[in-house]
Amino acid sequence: MGVKVVHYEAVPADPVPDLEGVTIRWLIAKADGAPHFAMRLFELQPGSGSPDHRHTWEHEVFVLEGEGVVRTEDGNQPLSPGVAVFVPGEVQHQFLNTGTGPLRFLCLIPHVD
């Protein structure tokens, strides 16, 4: 399989089940021949957020647009364009849009089977 080059808008923005105002675009996935990691683009509308959750795998986040917070057991940390976030495995976390426009961020995770 060759190099994949795609504009993010060419990838469908799928609604995230049970989360009002949240979409995901799977920019790079196993189907593209990426054996280790997936790159996803999340868009959260004002007032929406991810579930408050934890899981065994780490993930890395890079904020592209908007304002929000990442909520953890240690409190809230602000999110704005250019901010990078590392969430280790087993850490409780939630991403929330606290701004007036979309909160858009890249989220990279290892493939979990």
pLDDT over 70 (residue 47): yes
Backbone phi, psi, residue 9, to 5°: -70, -15
Burial of 84 per CB tally in 10 Å (0-12, 13-18, 19+): exposed
Domains of the chain: which residue ranges? Answer: 12-86
Q: What is the pTM (predicted TM-score) of this model?
A: 0.93
**Cα–Cα distance, 103 to 42 (Å, whole number):** 8
Alpha-carbon dihedral sign for residues 47, 39, 14, 94: negative
User: What does the pLDDT read at residue 40?
Assistant: 97
Collapsing DSSP states into helix, strand and coil, what is residue 32? helix
Per-residue confidence at 111, pLDDT binned at 50, 70, 90? confident
- What is the arithmetic mean of pLDDT over 37-52? 96
Residue matched to tokens 């240690």: 74
CATH annotation of 12-86: 2.60.120.10
Burial of 11 per CB tally in 10 Å (0-12, 13-18, 19+): middle
Beta-sheet pairing, 84-87 with 103-110 = unpaired
User: What does the pLDDT read at residue 112?
Assistant: 73
